[in-house]
Structure 1
Amino acid sequence: MSENLANEQRLLQMQDLQDRLIEQRQEISATPAEGSAGGGAIKVSMQADGTVLGVAIGADVVDSGDVGLLEELVTVAFRDVLKECGNTQAVAIARLNPLTLPGQGG
């Protein structure tokens, strides 16, 4: 009988963990992030789950005619926003800790 109770508790813990993971995923999906480069000449907006919302490019960057510079700035802006997304995800996952998984004690 005691083993059945322990198994039921483990199942409830796993269901709780699954619910918390779903909540964190939804929170991450709803969290906006923005990266920029060139002093704001290029801006990339995303949701923290990686969904791109938009890219804004200042007219002065386009008017310069320097395609290489434009490509570099867009790359830097994407790296910047992806770093912010990663930080948001790390914070959300850290909220789940300390995790006590079934069979690991605690």
Structure 2
Amino acid sequence: MAKFDMNAMLKQAQQMQAQMMEAQEEAKQEIVEASAGGGMVTVKANGGGEIVEIVIDPKAIDPDDPEMLADIVMAAANEALRSASELVESKIRGQMPGLEGLLQ
């Protein structure tokens, strides 16, 4: 009967944690971009889930309809954050292919 090696399992878990942290740090250095409103608003986010830039075309600024601009900014920001999240997941998958079933 095979003996269960708790030390080996803990060492492997520590290695996996270190690899995940490394992948997350790498992703923080990368920027994703999304736009909405036909390109009127562009948002850039990093893999750390932070918005790093918002560019608004002056044509999108309608003083009579600020809600429209807010909706466009929110749509672009949410898409940029989704892309940043997908970037982190892909980095982690690249580092740890055995985690496919855990990252859903």
Q: Name the TM-score, length of structure 1 as normaliser.
A: 0.77
Q: Which residue of 2 aligns with 1:104?
A: none
The list of structure 1 runs, each at least 4 consecutive aligned residues, that deviate by more than 6 angstroms after superposition, is none
1:16-37 CA-partner distances (Å, limit 9, x unpaired): 1122011111112111111111
User: How far apart in 2 are the matches of 1:11 and 1:38?
Assistant: 50
Aligned to 1:9: 8
- Alignment pair present for 1:90 and 2:89: yes
Identity of aligned residues (%): 23
C-alpha distance in 1 between matches for 2:21 and 2:82: 22
Contact 2:24 2:47 in 1 (8 A): no
- Higher Cα radius of gyration: 1
Q: What are the ranges of 5 or more consecutive residues in structure 1 without an aligned counterpart?
A: 100-106
Instruction: Give the match for residue 20 of structure 1.
Output: 19
Equivalent residues, number: 96
TM-score, normalised by the number of residues in structure 2? 0.78
CA RMSD of aligned residues (A): 2.0
